[in-house]
Amino acid sequence: MSVDVAQRYFELMDDPDAGTDEVLELFADDAVFRSPRKGIIRGKDDLEAFYEANGEFFEGGAHEMREFHEDGDTVVCEGTLWGGTAAGKSFEDVGLVDIMQFDDEGNIEEFRAYLDYAAILTDVYDEAPAYRGE
């Protein structure tokens, strides 16, 4: 079941018609998101601000998820990302590993994102969303 939620997360992230609210429905109210670029984000309100800022910065693109490994309440997701930014930079085949831990209700309670942001943000760092859950 947790793999289904993880797969749904990536479907929503790649769907241009999906809204932030649909993504947030997958998360527990007190979820923690650990981003290599933004640090630790806690709770749905801060997650909403994070996803809204990213939605304005990243344009188009998709995840190509290759593997989902489930162990108890944890799913490790492996794949690549391609797309573009509002600053006009395009990127492809950026490797990623996302680790999702789920609560008893099947909601994401902790999300750890690992990807090569340097491949995306080189030459556009000043244009990247400045959100930091402070």
Can you give the pLDDT at residue 134?
44
Contact present, 12 and 19 (Cβ < 8 Å): no
Q: Radius of gyration (Cα) for the chain, nearest Å?
A: 14
Can you give the pLDDT at residue 112?
98
Model confidence over 23-43: pLDDT tens digits?
999 999 999 999 887 899 999
Can you give the pLDDT at residue 91?
86
> For the chain, which domains are there?
2-127 (3.10.450.50)
Q: Which residues of the chain have pLDDT under 70?
A: 119-134
HSE, CB side, 13 Å, CA atoms: give it for residue 132: 7
Task: Indicate the DSSP class of residue 88.
Answer: S
Can you give the pLDDT at residue 129?
52
Contact present, 98 and 71 (Cβ < 8 Å): no
32 token code pair = 């923690």
CA 26 to centroid of chain Cα atoms:
12
Can you give the pLDDT at residue 132?
44
- DSSP codes of every residue in 6-75: HHHHHHHHH-TT--HHHHHTTEEEEEEEEETTTEEEEHHHHHHHHHHHHHHHEEEEEEEEEEEEEETTEE
Run of H or E including 99: strand 90-102
